[in-house]
Structure 1
Amino acid sequence: MKTPSCTLLAEVRAFRQKHPDVRYVDLIALDIPGHFYGKRYPVEMLEKVAAGSPLKLPQNAVLLGVQGGLFKIGDYCFNDGDPDANRRLVPGTLKPVSWESQPLGQMLITSDGTDAPIEFEPREVLARVLQRLQHKGIHPVVAFELEFYLFDKKLANGLPQFPRDPLSDDADDQPNLHIERLSRFSAVLDDMAQTARDQGIDSTVITAEIGPGQFEINFGHSDDALRAADWAALFCRSTRGVALKHGYRASFMAKPYLQFPGSGMHVHVSLYDGAGNNLLAAHQQQPLRHAVAGCLQLLPHCMPIFAPNHNALRRLGGTVNAATRASWGFEDRDACLRIPESDPRNLRIEHRLASADANPYLVLAAILAGLEHGLETRQEPIAPLNDDRSSGTDFPVEMLDAVRAMQHHTVVRDTLGAEFVDVYCENKRQDHLAFQQEINAREYRWFL
């Protein structure tokens, strides 16, 4: 896991030579709710880190709630002295930041691969799952798809406004899939795509989605699953920045409008052996059925990962292509697990349940844990939706129910790590309770 300091040092020096006007670099990592935290380093100090100097940040920065506060979770935060923990630079991620007013760089950091990784750091959770699969001779190939909304830069009484059509200056308030929307918003969309490529992200297809001002971006398939999750995380950061530069607000919020479709994170996963054979396609695709069964079995117990907040739970059911139960099907977008039509070489599972604002490292870790569980237990799945439109199993749609279902499930604790599960569930519980501590206008209208 460790990268020689000479390689990192060469990367930093090459960056400085190519971008001599950059004085600072943001060293960033994703916390549990999916927000970036970190430090802004002078670029000359980054050379020292690349050469082997320690890089330490508070361990508990990973535990921040959605609003950035710390919760009492076991002995963390308030009874542990708030210790530092080592981080390392992620090679290949030092890139320029083009959406800020001043020249800047950014680079991912992580605790995975250090001598004492943080057990509940999202990237470390995924790294452990991947390491276990690798020891079993299983090599995932992964591609993310992310949906997001554009809004006007200014909020109206705290509420989002439809983006202004740059050609007519009218609000883009009509839901549609028209290709013309891509043309009308081409300036900001093209900049988002190019900025993503500048970050090293293999962004491919852009689609106008059903909701007003809603779009989807696809990423290339990668045999480096950690890097695929890095791409998803970095794209969210750069897209928000580019949108503001163009006078818009971009959001990956799961359900910004009740009357329009929510935004999802779709993850395509195929599994290969060391010789490059697709494991899901072997033996008349029987391993595919086992993998599906494992995913469906764990899905109700991973809901706090797939729908990590109150708003994300609103997205489930009642709108186009949003599942209401744990289900699967061939070429069926109403299913949680869709099997796209493909040749045996590219046979894969598309996991469609997660919200766009979920943590990509944890979403992928949970999906892979389900696939692994299915391949080991070799159970048969329930009927696909193609055979029975009522097929499916229930999953919790209230956060506290979802937390209880996750925290005490033996397989989830074994595959994702018991310490992570306890920390994550308490973080979600505390976030949910904090969210309830506000009386909104509707409550006064109903009960005053």
Structure 2
Amino acid sequence: MKSHSSTLLAEVRTFRQNHPDVRYVDLICLDIPGRFYGKRYPVEMLEKVAAGSPLKLPQNAVLLGAQGGLFKIGDYCFHDGDPDANRRLVPGTLKPVSWEAQPLGQMLITSDGTEAPIEFEPREVLAKVLERLHRKGIHPVVAFELEFYLFDRKLADGLPQFARDPLSDDPDDQPTLHIERLSRFAPVLDDMVQTAQAQGIDITVITAELGPGQFEINFGHLDDGLRAADWAALFCRSTRGVALKHGYRASFMAKPYLQHPGSGMHVHVSLYDAAGNNLLAAHQQQPLRHAVAGCLELLPHCMPIFSPNHNAFRRLGGTVNAATKACWGYEDRDACVRIPESDPRNLRIEHRLASADANPYLVLAAILVGLEHGLDAAREPIAPLNEDRDSGHHFPLEMLEAVRAMQQQPALREGLGAEFVDVYCENKRQDHLAFQQEINAREYRWYL
């Protein structure tokens, strides 16, 4: 503990020396819907926390709904006295914030690794899954890919407007999948990449996607699943800030336009033993097939994680590269679980179903539980799409049905934690019901 505190204290002191103009640091953590909450600390107080002073925030902050409100979930929120819970600083995450008007810093905090972790905190859920896999001798290597849209900063009657191309105001004049679009939006994209790199995030490939103003960012592979999910979460935060600075609005909303492709979160996962051997490639890739079978079996029960809100389910309507069944295939982007072509050393799955606004900690945890379940059960998967284009298991396409499917699944309750599953499902059910409590203009047009 003393060594850990010494490392953190050295990190804070080095940061203060390198950034003497920073007076405050945002201590941030991801809640269930995937939004950051936290506190803005004077930097001198942060030094005290790094030295061992307690850091506490309300436990129920993790339970916030999509709009920030609290729901009654069991005895939480309104019958538990709203207790504080200990958090700890995440080493290596103290970085400068360059997109705000004043000099700031930010640092991740978490309850995992404390004496009483919060069972339903997303980072803690993933930490438990990774710890269990490590005890089994399984060491995941992970890389995220995130799609997002750029919009004009100003909304028009509450609706998003296409990002204004420097060469044209016509959204149809944005070249799809063309390198030229990267050049047209180079100033904001370059700033996004440089800002992410300043946060310690390894950005690799940038792609202009199919939608107007839509892009994809790839991250480097990591043998630390928590850090990989940290990167995805932090990238969303910095990218929104940088976009506003340039007069745009960056959004990871799953389906902002019905007529254009949605935005997804693709996760590459390979599994290794302690000696560095790829476990999926052993025995003529039989473990790969078992892992795929487990992923597909649990996928219909993980839909509240992969599609965490009403809008995210709109993305699953059969548009480009968005699967409508739990299916798999080799080099097939219509599959939920794609097996990219690779040598045995780098054999991996690419999980393509989650929306870009899903919680990266929970998405990765659900994928890993599926892989683990498949390896333990050792069953053969259904036929790949390469052999049968109709192959696949149906999955729920609306939230309340999805919640029912998730809450009663024994392997998920065991793999993710029964308390987390119950809390998460009730949070999603309440959020969905709250979303319905508004009559929109279409209802008046149809039924008045």
Instruction: Give the TM-score band, short-chain normalised.
Output: over 0.9
Q: Distance in 1 between the 2:406 and 2:16 partners?
A: 46
**C-alpha displacement at 1:176, in angstroms?**
1.0
Q: Distance in 2 between the 1:428 and 1:402 partners?
A: 10
Q: Distance in 2 between the 1:257 and 1:168 partners?
A: 20
Partner of 1:26: 26
Q: What is the identity, as a one-letter code, of the residue corresponding to 2:132?
A: R
Contact 2:165 2:174 in 1 (8 A): no
Partner of 2:80: 80
Partner of 1:285: 285
**C-alpha displacement at 1:3, in angstroms?**
6.6
Per-residue CA deviations over 1:80-121 (Å, capped at 9, x if unaligned) read 000000000000000000000000000000000000000000
Aligned length: 448
Contact 2:266 2:352 in 1 (8 A): yes
- For residues 84-123 of structure 1, the aligned pairs below 5 Å read 84-123=84-123
Contact 2:303 2:396 in 1 (8 A): yes
Partner of 2:51: 51
Query: Counterpart of 2:223 in 1: which secondary structure?
Result: coil
- For residues 29-428 of structure 1, the aligned pairs below 5 Å read 29-168=29-168, 170-171=170-171, 174=174, 176-428=176-428
**C-alpha displacement at 1:168, in angstroms?**
3.8
In structure 2, the CA distance between the partners of 1:2 and 1:397, relative to structure 1 (3 Å rule), is farther
Per-residue CA deviations over 1:339-398 (Å, capped at 9, x if unaligned) read 000000000000000000000000000000000000000000000000000000000001
Query: Counterpart of 2:325 in 1: which secondary structure?
Result: coil
In structure 2, the CA distance between the partners of 1:175 and 1:327, relative to structure 1 (3 Å rule), is farther
Q: Distance in 1 between the 2:124 and 2:175 partners?
A: 39
In structure 2, the CA distance between the partners of 1:129 and 1:36, relative to structure 1 (3 Å rule), is same
**C-alpha displacement at 1:311, in angstroms?**
0.3
Per-residue CA deviations over 1:118-171 (Å, capped at 9, x if unaligned) read 000000000000000000000000000000000000000000000111234554
Q: What is the identity, as a one-letter code, of the residue corresponding to 1:194?
A: Q
Q: What is the identity, as a one-letter code, of the residue corresponding to 2:347?
A: L
Query: Counterpart of 1:396 in 2: which secondary structure?
Result: coil
C-alpha RMSD of the superposition: 1.1
**C-alpha displacement at 1:314, in angstroms?**
0.4
Q: What is the identity, as a one-letter code, of the residue corresponding to 1:131?
A: E
**C-alpha displacement at 1:25, in angstroms?**
0.1
Structure 1 unmatched ranges of 5 or more: none
Q: Distance in 1 between the 2:436 and 2:66 partners?
A: 13
In structure 2, the CA distance between the partners of 1:3 and 1:199, relative to structure 1 (3 Å rule), is farther
Q: What is the identity, as a one-letter code, of the residue corresponding to 1:339?
A: I
Per-residue CA deviations over 1:46-90 (Å, capped at 9, x if unaligned) read 000000000000000000000000000000000000000000000
Structure 2 unmatched ranges of 5 or more: none
Q: Distance in 1 between the 2:174 and 2:418 partners?
A: 46
Contact 2:303 2:406 in 1 (8 A): yes
TM-score, normalised via structure 1 length: 0.99
Q: Distance in 2 between the 1:23 and 1:150 partners?
A: 31
Q: Distance in 2 between the 1:66 and 1:2 partners?
A: 38
**C-alpha displacement at 1:317, in angstroms?**
2.9
Query: Counterpart of 1:4 in 2: which secondary structure?
Result: helix
Partner of 1:13: 13
Partner of 2:445: 445
Contact 1:265 1:356 in 2 (8 A): yes
Contact 1:162 1:172 in 2 (8 A): no
Q: Distance in 1 between the 2:226 and 2:163 partners?
A: 34
Q: What is the identity, as a one-letter code, of the residue corresponding to 1:405?
A: A
Q: Distance in 2 between the 1:174 and 1:222 partners?
A: 34
Query: Counterpart of 2:289 in 1: which secondary structure?
Result: helix
Q: What is the identity, as a one-letter code, of the residue corresponding to 1:35?
A: R
Contact 2:328 2:337 in 1 (8 A): yes
Q: Distance in 2 between the 1:416 and 1:164 partners?
A: 43
Contact 2:175 2:181 in 1 (8 A): no
Q: Distance in 2 between the 1:186 and 1:407 partners?
A: 45
Q: What is the identity, as a one-letter code, of the residue corresponding to 1:393?
A: H
Query: Counterpart of 1:204 in 2: which secondary structure?
Result: strand
TM-score, normalised via structure 2 length: 0.99
Contact 1:2 1:113 in 2 (8 A): no
Query: Counterpart of 1:87 in 2: which secondary structure?
Result: strand
Q: Distance in 2 between the 1:15 and 1:168 partners?
A: 43
Query: Counterpart of 2:150 in 1: which secondary structure?
Result: strand
